[in-house]
Amino acid sequence: MRVVTNTEQESAGRHAMKGFAIGAAQWASVGMFASGLLYAFTPWYKKQQTVNKFYIVMCFALGGGSYKSDRYMVQFERRGRAQTLDEETKKRYELLYGNAVEAQKTLETPSTASA
């Protein structure tokens, strides 16, 4: 999908940021779990400074956030392309076969005139 208007750009940005927040939360929890396991079973990890442990968890969060943000952006683009394709198909159908609303009105007009 080609983002043209400012509104579409803002919508795409909001959707990507939503994906980033969800991915960061998911992967930060995975990082916390991994950090807990390392702390419980490895003596070298216990000796690390708290700042280094935080950095490891933060790397999980940022990596997961960027991955999920990209996935959400791809979904947004696919949905936009599908919507555009549906609109174009509808326009072509109406060009070939006419508008269904107009056909319905022409069918209703003679029946009401004869009644």
Question: Mind listing the pLDDT tens digit for each residue in 19-68?
Answer: 999 999 999 999 999 999 999 999 999 999 999 999 999 999 999 999 99
Q: What gap in Å lies between CA 32 and CA 18, rounded to an integer?
A: 21
Range of the domain at 54: 6-81
Could you give the percent of the chain with pLDDT greater than 90? Answer: 56
Any idea how long the chain is?
Answer: 115
34 lies in some domain: yes
* Higher-confidence position of 21 and 110: 21
41-45, 67-71, 83-87, 103-107: segment of lowest average pLDDT: 103-107
- The CA-to-CA distance between both ends of the chain, in Å, stands at 51
17 lies in some domain: yes
Residues 6+ away with beta carbon under 8 Å from 19: 65, 68, 69, 70, 71, 72, 73
59 lies in some domain: yes
Domain total for the chain?
1
pLDDT of residue 67: 96
Give this prediction's pTM.
Answer: 0.69
88 lies in some domain: no
90 lies in some domain: no
